[in-house]
């Protein structure tokens, strides 16, 4: 019982800023625009996006410098393995990154790189065959990886919420969406049973669903994919989390709707000072909506840098290859280059220190036995013995 | 003569579905019988051609009728009206039911989105590729084996993988099986429905290069359905943009992407995330949902209401396709007169 977090008073919504955080030095006068250079507004974000949002105590994205001092989430040396009939799969090894307060970080990689496993490990919802074998994940004084289930249950959905890839399967198909939002509010003390339905409608309005009173009574099958994803966002933000984890939030959604959803998601996060970890395989999407990108390959973090630096000067050979393979500004098909080789078998007992070695044209002998992780430029980390 | 004849000539093609189970439909039937039942206009008055050796992209959001159009073209569905000609042959009146057993089936083949789901899970790669050859080419024994191996090699599928089942293959290998199976019977037109949507970028590149090479070697035409506009731009010669059952813009891929003339195409192009696009000028964002495709008003532009530039005339007259450049047409009142 003692681990149970204090239940929030329904009248006082959970505060976004933890006590004693750096918010005090960062407070901006109400109505004062945050400095432009530190608060990039995503293109296309309408200024009135959050008219109905109460002003958050944290100015959007202004926390970057302080983010280093006390990040929202700090993952260190995370290792996860899965027991399978074919042997133990070392799915994650020495994964480390931070998400600063108000920062939007992209976790990018191809399938099998471990990005979703990372999110599931943080949420404590790994498959039964998976096991966290090492590491810590500090989140507001709690180590998410070692906290008892009871504590996690109080954190999930309230302080950390998650948006899943396919909204239609993540939502309850036989419950009206308004009730599903209200459920979260009631469970985490965001609203009482009486106020919850109205609060749910208010959330639907915030995610810009037209006619929210009517839509609150709709079932997921009555809504389009884009609308279901808005409902997911409403559920995720209902209790004003400190951290939002979005796992491929727009995969399978049309490109026009994707743009609207991403504008909404990042706009809401920035306005209310929510930190976000966006998992995506789409480098272009990451470049447009995120502040920093963490690139994963075969269970390792290979590069971690601010968006601008990463795309202007990728330092890890894999990042450079991934960029060359992503069709964006290429003049012709011939300019698109593939990445040779494939992911190593993570069940091998003799995995090389660098898991990219078999695909790399810059590999050194030393890459077999040791891997150097270093800060190659300010806040630009790379795990490579022979970076570009 | 046959030089100038396009491979595929689609004229005024429409496909409607009768909507059942709605209150409105029930009332209409009670009042006026079956004729008054509401109709969903999935494909509405679509005309276009595909030349020999040409790659045409078909783009549009989900629900715009791309898949219905593809199913009508591949003769899995019958059109409500209009005509489909393949070379000099009229396919319109061959019923979809019987098309699978006709030799014309071999002339149009299809590659589906995820070969993991579209290949029979109890067929090995060999069986999957051999199936159309058995049915349409009547190949057996050594002739069959040699043809399957030739096609697999052409698609870069190692022969050692032929005895494997789909779940034992990687995503890229499965994509190769899906392509090999489609080209085995030497089609003239290959319809590709989001062939790389399920693949990682590194594998996608390999598959796109494979498709480009096969086209050169075999001289096929492609109809490439995708909502990844970056891929369409790189692979296609010409693009068709569909919105709610109608073609709203068509033209050379370069021109359509560099200078989209229909507001919907513009929104589509501007929605593509681009690397290094921070600080880009304000882009068009589409709010709301498309209009209902059920019994749409024939005099109202389908994009009206969602269009950021709509005006009174859009609600009074459906804009026809106007010429806006060489082989480039857009269906918008704003581009009238070039």
Q: What is the pLDDT of residues B265-282, one digit of tens each?
A: 999 888 888 887 654 556
Q: What are phi and psi of B241, to 5 degrees?
A: -110, 125
A337 lies within 8 A of chain B by CB: yes
* Strand, coil or helix: B312: helix
A-chain CB neighbours of B208 within 8 Å are: 333, 336
pLDDT at B21: 63
- Cross-chain Cβ contact A224/B289 below 8 Å: yes
pLDDT at A63: 40
Angstrom distance (rounded) from CA B311 to CA B329: 20
- With vertex at residue A94, the alpha carbon angle to CA A89 and CA A97, rounded to the nearest 5 degrees, is 125
Angstrom distance (rounded) from CA B144 to CA B131: 10
- Distance (Å) of CA B20 to CA A175, B36, B38, B41: 25, 12, 8, 14
CA distance A85 to chain B (A): 15
* Chain A, nearest residue to B284 by Cα: A44
Query: How many residues belong to chain A?
Result: 388
Give chain A's domains with CATH numbers.
61-159+241-388 (3.40.50.300), 170-238 (no CATH)
- Cross-chain Cβ contact B62/A225 below 8 Å: yes
Q: What is the mean pLDDT of residues B244-263?
A: 93
Q: What is the mean pLDDT of residues B46-69?
A: 92
A43 lies within 8 A of chain B by CB: yes
Q: How confident is the model at residue A344 (pLDDT cuts 50, 70, 90)?
A: confident
- Cross-chain Cβ contact B276/A337 below 8 Å: no
Quick: pLDDT tens for A106-139.
Answer: 999 988 899 999 999 999 999 899 999 999 999 9
A-chain CB neighbours of B270 within 8 Å are: 259
Q: What are phi and psi of A24, to 5 degrees?
A: -60, -45
CA distance A289 to chain B (A): 9
Q: Which of A51-55, A78-82, A260-264 has the highest mean pLDDT?
A: A78-82
CA distance B142 to chain A (A): 33
CA distance B242 to chain A (A): 13
Q: How confident is the model at residue B35 (pLDDT cuts 50, 70, 90)?
A: low
A-chain CB neighbours of B289 within 8 Å are: 224, 227
The conformation of residue A51, written as its DSSP 8-state character, comes to: T
Which of 172-231 (A) contact B at CB < 8 A? Answer: 208, 210, 224-225, 227
CA distance A150 to chain B (A): 38
CB pairs under 8 A between A and B: 122
- Cross-chain Cβ contact A330/B278 below 8 Å: no
Quick: pLDDT tens for A127-182.
Answer: 899 999 999 999 988 999 999 999 998 899 889 999 988 888 899 999 999 999 99
Bridge partners, residue B18, by sequence: B39
Please classify residue A18 by burial: count the beta carbons closer than 10 Å to its beta carbon, then call 0-12 exposed, 13-18 middle and 19+ buried.
Answer: middle
Is residue B338 predicted with pLDDT exceeding 90? no
pLDDT at A93: 93
A-chain CB neighbours of B200 within 8 Å are: 110-111, 281
A281 lies within 8 A of chain B by CB: yes
Angstrom distance (rounded) from CA A149 to CA A81: 20
Which of B235, B276, B286 has the CB atom closest to A256's CB atom? B286
Q: What is the mean pLDDT of residues B74-87?
A: 92
B-chain CB neighbours of A342 within 8 Å are: 170
Is B231 part of a structural domain of the chain?
Answer: no
Q: Are A61 and A33 in contact (CB under 8 A)?
A: no
Is B156 part of a structural domain of the chain?
Answer: yes
Which of B212, B267, B275 has the CB atom closest to A287's CB atom? B275
For residues A54 and A174, the model is more confident at: A174
Angstrom distance (rounded) from CA B114 to CA B125: 14
Q: Please state, for a pLDDT cut of 90, what percent of chain A lies above it.
A: 47
Q: How confident is the model at residue A227 (pLDDT cuts 50, 70, 90)?
A: confident
pLDDT at A34: 39
- Cross-chain Cβ contact B201/A326 below 8 Å: yes
- Cross-chain Cβ contact B271/A308 below 8 Å: no
Which of B234, B271, B276 has the CB atom closest to A327's CB atom? B234
pLDDT at A103: 94
Quick: pLDDT tens for A97-106.
Answer: 999 999 999 9
Which of A42-56, A124-138, A232-246, A322-336 is least confident?
A: A42-56
What torsion do the CA atoms of B326, B331, B336, B338 make, to the nearest 10 degrees? -20
Q: What is the mean pLDDT of residues A247-276?
A: 87
* Chain B, nearest residue to A326 by Cα: B201
pLDDT at A10: 40
- Cross-chain Cβ contact B204/A259 below 8 Å: no
Which of A263, A283, A321 has the CB atom closest to B285's CB atom? A263
CA distance B197 to chain A (A): 9
Q: What is the mean pLDDT of residues B200-229?
A: 91
Quick: pLDDT tens for B200-211.
Answer: 888 899 999 999
Q: What are phi and psi of B333, to 5 degrees?
A: -60, -25
Is residue B116 predicted with pLDDT exceeding 60? yes
Angstrom distance (rounded) from CA B270 to CA B103: 43
Is B279 part of a structural domain of the chain?
Answer: no
- Cross-chain Cβ contact A259/B61 below 8 Å: no
Quick: pLDDT tens for A347-361.
Answer: 888 889 999 998 899
- Distance (Å) of CA A273 to CA A47, A260, B335: 16, 20, 44
Which of B205, B230, B288 has the CB atom closest to A338's CB atom? B205
Q: Which residue has the tokens 């990154």?
A: A97
Quick: pLDDT tens for B277-336.
Answer: 654 556 677 777 778 888 888 899 999 988 888 899 999 999 999 999 999 999 999 988
Quick: pLDDT tens for B5-25.
Answer: 899 999 999 999 988 766 655
Of all helices (H) and strands (E), which one includes residue A377?
Answer: strand A373-377
- Cross-chain Cβ contact A288/B273 below 8 Å: yes
- Give the CATH number for residue B198: 3.40.50.300
* Chain A, nearest residue to B278 by Cα: A288
Is B209 part of a structural domain of the chain?
Answer: yes
Quick: pLDDT tens for B182-191.
Answer: 999 999 999 9
In sequence order, what are the residues at sequence separation of 6 or more whose Cβ sits closer than 8 angstroms to the Cβ of residue A230? Answer: A204, A207, A208, A209, A261, A264
Q: What are phi and psi of A356, to 5 degrees?
A: -95, -5
Q: How confident is the model at residue B163 (pLDDT cuts 50, 70, 90)?
A: very high
Which of B205, B286, B287 has the CB atom closest to A337's CB atom? B205
Is B218 part of a structural domain of the chain?
Answer: yes
pLDDT at A54: 42
- Cross-chain Cβ contact B275/A284 below 8 Å: yes
- Cross-chain Cβ contact A256/B62 below 8 Å: no
* Domain span holding position B135: 100-226
For residue A229, how many C-alpha atoms fall within 13 Å in the half-sphere facing its CB?
24
Number of domains in chain B: 1
Cα dihedral sign, B35-B36-B38-B42 = positive
Quick: pLDDT tens for B146-161.
Answer: 999 999 999 999 999 9
A-chain CB neighbours of B233 within 8 Å are: 327
* Chain B, nearest residue to A113 by Cα: B200
Angstrom distance (rounded) from CA A319 to CA B27: 60
pLDDT at B282: 60
Q: How confident is the model at residue B142 (pLDDT cuts 50, 70, 90)?
A: very high
Angstrom distance (rounded) from CA A100 to CA A270: 12
Quick: pLDDT tens for A183-210.
Answer: 999 988 778 889 999 999 999 988 888 8
Is residue A239 predicted with pLDDT exceeding 50? yes
A44 lies within 8 A of chain B by CB: yes
Angstrom distance (rounded) from CA B137 to CA B148: 12
Which of A40, A287, A336 has the CB atom closest to B234's CB atom? A336
Q: What is the mean pLDDT of residues A41-61?
A: 40
A-chain CB neighbours of B206 within 8 Å are: 338
B-chain CB neighbours of A256 within 8 Å are: 61, 267-268, 271, 285-286
Q: What is the mean pLDDT of residues B127-150?
A: 94
User: Taking phi first (over 0 means left), then psi (-120 to 50 degrees means alpha), and beta for anything else, what does residue A352 get?
Assistant: beta
Is B195 part of a structural domain of the chain?
Answer: yes
A254 lies within 8 A of chain B by CB: yes
User: Taking phi first (over 0 means left), then psi (-120 to 50 degrees means alpha), and beta for anything else, what does residue A20 get?
Assistant: left
Bridge partners, residue B57, by sequence: B224, B239
pLDDT at B36: 65
Is B330 part of a structural domain of the chain?
Answer: no
* Strand, coil or helix: B81: strand
Q: Which residue has the tokens 């083949």?
A: B109
B-chain CB neighbours of A285 within 8 Å are: 273
B-chain CB neighbours of A312 within 8 Å are: 276
Q: How confident is the model at residue B111 (pLDDT cuts 50, 70, 90)?
A: very high
């Amino acid at each position: 019982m003692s681990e149970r977090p204090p239940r929030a008073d329904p009248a006082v919504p959970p505060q976004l800023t933890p006590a004693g955080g750096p918010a005090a030095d960062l407070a901006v006068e109400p109505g004062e625009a945050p400095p432009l250079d530190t608060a990039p507004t995503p293109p296309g974000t309408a200024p009135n996006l959050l008219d109905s949002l109460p002003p958050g105590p944290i100015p959007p994205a202004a926390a970057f410098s302080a983010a280093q001092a006390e990040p929202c989430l700090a993952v260190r040396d995370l290792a996860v393995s899965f027991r399978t009939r074919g042997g133990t799969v070392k799915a994650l090894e020495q994964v480390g990154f931070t998400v600063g307060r108000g920062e939007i970080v992209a976790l990018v990689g191809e399938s099998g790189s471990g990005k979703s496993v990372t999110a599931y490990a943080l949420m404590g919802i790994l498959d039964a065959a998976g096991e966290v074998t090492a590491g810590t994940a500090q989140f507001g004084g709690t180590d998410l990886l070692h906290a008892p289930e009871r504590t996690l249950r109080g954190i999930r959905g309230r302080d950390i919420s998650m948006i899943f890839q396919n909204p239609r399967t993540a939502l309850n198909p036989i419950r009206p969406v308004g009730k599903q939002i209200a459920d979260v509010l009631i469970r985490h003390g965001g609203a009482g049973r009486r106020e919850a339905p109205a609060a749910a409608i208010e959330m639907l309005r915030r995610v810009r669903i037209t006619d929210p009173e009517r839509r609150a009574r709709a079932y997921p099958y009555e809504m389009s994919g884009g609308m279901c994803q808005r409902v997911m966002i409403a559920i995720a933000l209902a209790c004003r989390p400190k951290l939002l984890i979005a796992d491929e939030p727009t995969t399978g959604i049309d490109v026009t709707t994707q743009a609207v959803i991403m504008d909404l998601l990042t706009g809401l996060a920035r306005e209310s000072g929510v930190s976000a970890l966006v998992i995506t395989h789409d480098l272009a999407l990451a470049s447009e909506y995120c502040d920093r990108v963490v690139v994963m390959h075969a269970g390792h973090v290979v590069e971690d840098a601010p968006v601008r630096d990463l795309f202007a000067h990728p330092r890890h050979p894999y990042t450079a290859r991934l960029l060359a393979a992503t069709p964006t500004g290429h003049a012709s098909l011939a300019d698109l280059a593939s990445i040779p080789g494939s992911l190593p078998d993570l069940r091998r007992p003799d995995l090389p220190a660098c898991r990219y070695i078999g695909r790399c044209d810059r590999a050194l002998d030393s890459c077999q036995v040791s891997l150097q992780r270093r800060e190659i430029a300010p806040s630009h980390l790379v795990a490579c013995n022979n970076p570009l | 003569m046959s030089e100038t004849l396009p491979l595929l000539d689609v004229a005024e093609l429409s496909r409607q579905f009768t909507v059942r189970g709605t209150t409105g439909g029930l009332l209409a039937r009670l009042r006026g019988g079956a004729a008054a039942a509401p109709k969903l206009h999935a494909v509405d008055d679509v005309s276009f051609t595909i030349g020999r050796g040409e790659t045409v992209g078909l783009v549009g959001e989900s629900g715009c009728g791309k898949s219905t159009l593809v199913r009508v073209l591949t003769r899995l569905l019958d059109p409500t009206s209009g005509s489909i000609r393949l070379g000099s042959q009229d396919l319109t009146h061959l019923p979809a039911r019987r098309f699978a057993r006709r030799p014309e089936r071999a002339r149009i083949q299809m590659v589906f989105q995820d070969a993991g789901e579209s290949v029979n899970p109890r067929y090995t790669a060999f069986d999957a590729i051999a199936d159309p050859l058995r049915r349409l080419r009547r190949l057996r024994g050594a002739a069959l084996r040699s043809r399957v191996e030739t096609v697999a090699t052409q698609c870069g599928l190692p022969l050692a993988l032929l005895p494997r089942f789909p779940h034992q293959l990687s995503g890229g290998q499965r994509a190769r099986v899906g392509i090999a199976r489609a080209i085995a019977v030497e089609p003239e037109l290959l319809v590709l429905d989001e062939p790389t949507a399920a693949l990682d970028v590194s594998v996608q590149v390999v598959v796109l290069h494979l498709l480009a090479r096969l086209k050169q070697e075999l001289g096929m035409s492609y109809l490439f359905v995708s909502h990844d506009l970056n891929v369409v731009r790189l692979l296609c010669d010409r693009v068709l943009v569909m919105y709610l059952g109608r073609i709203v813009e068509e033209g050379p891929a370069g021109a359509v992407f560099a200078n989209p003339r229909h507001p919907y195409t513009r929104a589509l192009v501007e929605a593509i995330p681009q690397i290094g696009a921070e600080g880009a000028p304000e882009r068009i964002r589409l709010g709301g949902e498309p209009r209902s495709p059920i019994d749409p008003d024939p005099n109202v532009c389908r994009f009206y209401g969602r269009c950021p530039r709509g005006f009174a005339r859009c609600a009074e007259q459906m804009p026809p396709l106007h010429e806006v450049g060489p082989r480039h047409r857009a269906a918008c009142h704003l581009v009238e007169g070039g």
